[in-house]
Structure 1
Amino acid sequence: MSSRPREAEATGLELYDRTARDAAATVISRYSTSFALACRLLGPRPRPHVRTVYALVRIADEIVDGPATAAGLSTDAARQVLDDLESETLAAVERRYSSNLVVHAFALTARECGIGEDLVRPFFASMRTDLTQSSHDGASHDAYVYGSAEVVGLMCLQVFVNAGSPHPVSPSADLVDGARRLGAAFQDVNFLRDLDHDAQALGRDYLGVAEGAVDREQVLDRIDADLAAAAAVIPRLPADCRRAVTAAHDLFAELSARLRSAPAPSRRVRVPDIVKARLAARAALGFAPREVRA
């Protein structure tokens, strides 16, 4: 009698679906060890869906941030590739199939969890901004952060609330606000960490800090206020999501604290692996998100 695992028996569309999800997981494991660590703290219900969301985000980000240029694509060509990816993503959600494995995996998640065009389009709009706009004022910063980070938090929230359910529902207003503010905090932390790289390698200034238009301490204060607001609603997330979100929150709270103590870092501020492991262990044990000075 055969003792092959059930996965080996899948055929047709079922096999393709599984392969697509595996491809998404591979993308994340290659690009973000911190995210991969936090993702392992998710329960089996939301975990594969969150991976597919971040895999699509990563692929789109790479079109505007390096590999496409390294491959010789012009700005116009990169924009066309990005436009095609957006069109393929929206079409795949409707038809439940894509020849692009990452898009296929995302479409499965979007259909099951209720991720709609209202979240997909703002994300791609922000990605297009990176191809044409090098500096931002307050209004364009907020619009960019909404599309590039807040909607990603909202996509994940749709997963947290709806994965495994037959009919997606809308999350509560307090969870929506928390997801948006956590996404915004993550993005602004990354902007501060990558200030020199963005300016020198990409010619971009998302915050106006380098030109003196915005005070760095004000940005850190905003980050900490967003982290504090997000922490307040994490306990209201489904139980199989809280530990992972707490770990991510605490990692960025640690980064914020390190950025504040290094007002003019000469190197990219990072959290040592041993500290990351300690934060993950703390979250895994069920501790509440760490307090942040808001």
Structure 2
Amino acid sequence: MGRVRALTTLDSAYAGSRAINAHHGRTYYLATRLLPPSRRPAVHALYGFARVADEIVDNPGVDPAGELLALERALNDAFDGGATGHPVLLALADTVRHWDIDRDLFSVFLNSMRMDLTVTDYANLDELAEYTHGSAGVIGLMLLPVLGTVSPDAAPYAAALGEAFQLTNFLRDVGEDLDRGRVYLPADHLAAFGVDRERLTWARMNGPDRAIRRAVAHFAAMAHAGYRAAEPGIALLDPVSRPCVATAARLYRAILDEIAAAGYDVLTRRAVVPAGRKASVVVPGVARCVLARLRGTQ
């Protein structure tokens, strides 16, 4: 009876993580549906944990640093087999054990989350790279054991794709991040176009000028370059996982297309990929997914 109850609790924990993913990460969740069913819960658990940490820093309470520390301690207890009352951590600990994910990656991720509590600007790409590696690159590395690989060379590509996703998020969310007091786009690149925080703040209320639009276009080009650099890594994944990752990359690149279509205005509007465009990306992905699974059974 105890084992049945434990399984029910674990199933509920995974279901909760899935609900978080479906609600907060719709593009990501849509691509995840192309994975074999046995692999999806692990992705939901990883996403759910990242979202819990992200909420602490994006919507801080009285003591966000203390909350992050408590989360890390609870996570380590869960990893060591201790009891946890947090369903996301229960699902995550099970995922880490089942897929043999490197626990150290979670410390790197949480260190980046702590940066959000104190760092409000990045002087250059090198400074930003530390943050994007911890907040996004390591997510790609966490996912690799779940996705499966056919080559040990997949890791750098997985990290690069996560970082391209993150730069896309930075561009889509410039206005919202500015409202939180943060500017992720590196100051030296912005300055090359005559843009600084003061100019961005003015444009948040009045709309972007030509200089800001040019700067955003520059960063969009950098994001596209990131996707191109990461693309060879998709072929290094387990064939049944390739349609999921390829579709996720196309969906995120579509966000960049919407930003371009809006004249690179990321300060008074938030780029959203229309449902029809998403369907045009996902449907071919479904076909590739079915074909990959059929080949896997032969």
- In the superposition, the TM-score normalised over structure 2's length comes to 0.82
1:134 aligns with 2:120: yes
Give 1:143's match in structure 2, choosing from 114, 117, 130: 130
Find the aligned partners of 1:81 and 1:236 in 2 and give their Cα distance.
38
The amino acid across from 1:212 in the alignment is: L
Find the aligned partners of 1:257 and 1:98 in 2 and give their Cα distance.
43
- Is the Cα contact below 8 Å between 1:64 and 1:78 reproduced in 2? yes
Give 1:229 deviation, angstroms.
2.3
Give 1:270 deviation, angstroms.
1.6
Find the aligned partners of 1:61 and 1:90 in 2 and give their Cα distance.
18
Cα separation, partners in 2 of 1:271 and 1:210, compared to 1, 3 Å: farther
Find the aligned partners of 2:23 and 2:259 in 1 and give their Cα distance.
26
What residue number does 2:180 align with?
A: 202
The amino acid across from 1:286 in the alignment is: R
Alignment gaps of 5+ in structure 1: 1-7, 163-170, 288-294
Find the aligned partners of 2:188 and 2:175 in 1 and give their Cα distance.
9
What residue number does 1:290 align with?
A: none
- Is the Cα contact below 8 Å between 2:128 and 2:186 reproduced in 1? no
1:101 aligns with 2:87: yes
Structural mapping, 1:45-60, within 5 Å: 45-60=38-53
What residue number does 1:212 align with?
A: 190
1:282 aligns with 2:284: yes
Find the aligned partners of 1:179 and 1:213 in 2 and give their Cα distance.
30
Q: Please state whether the residue corresponding to 1:285 is helix, strand or coil.
A: helix
Cα separation, partners in 2 of 1:211 and 1:184, compared to 1, 3 Å: closer
Summarize deviations over 1:168-194 as a string: whole Å, max 9, x none: xxx844311111111011000110111
Find the aligned partners of 2:113 and 2:236 in 1 and give their Cα distance.
31
- Is the Cα contact below 8 Å between 2:79 and 2:93 reproduced in 1? yes
Find the aligned partners of 1:127 and 1:205 in 2 and give their Cα distance.
15
Find the aligned partners of 1:272 and 1:247 in 2 and give their Cα distance.
15
Find the aligned partners of 1:119 and 1:56 in 2 and give their Cα distance.
13
What residue number does 2:148 align with?
A: 161
What residue number does 1:192 align with?
A: 171
What residue number does 1:221 align with?
A: 221
Give 1:176's match in structure 2, choosing from 148, 155, 158: 155
Q: Please state whether the residue corresponding to 2:288 is helix, strand or coil.
A: coil
Find the aligned partners of 2:229 and 2:153 in 1 and give their Cα distance.
10
Q: Percent identity?
A: 31
Give 1:209 deviation, angstroms.
6.0
- Is the Cα contact below 8 Å between 2:151 and 2:236 reproduced in 1? no
Find the aligned partners of 1:97 and 1:116 in 2 and give their Cα distance.
20
Find the aligned partners of 1:37 and 1:10 in 2 and give their Cα distance.
32
Find the aligned partners of 2:249 and 2:220 in 1 and give their Cα distance.
15
The amino acid across from 1:206 in the alignment is: Y
Summarize deviations over 1:1-36 as a string: whole Å, max 9, x none: xxxxxxx99713222221111111111122122222
What residue number does 2:275 align with?
A: 273
RMSD of the alignment, in Å? 2.3
Give 1:38 deviation, angstroms.
1.2
Give 1:260 deviation, angstroms.
3.6
- Aligned pairs, number: 264
Alignment gaps of 5+ in structure 2: 193-214, 290-298
Give 1:147 deviation, angstroms.
0.6
The amino acid across from 1:54 in the alignment is: Y
Find the aligned partners of 1:108 and 1:147 in 2 and give their Cα distance.
22
Larger displacement relative to structure 2 (257-266 or 234-243) = 257-266
The amino acid across from 1:105 in the alignment is: A
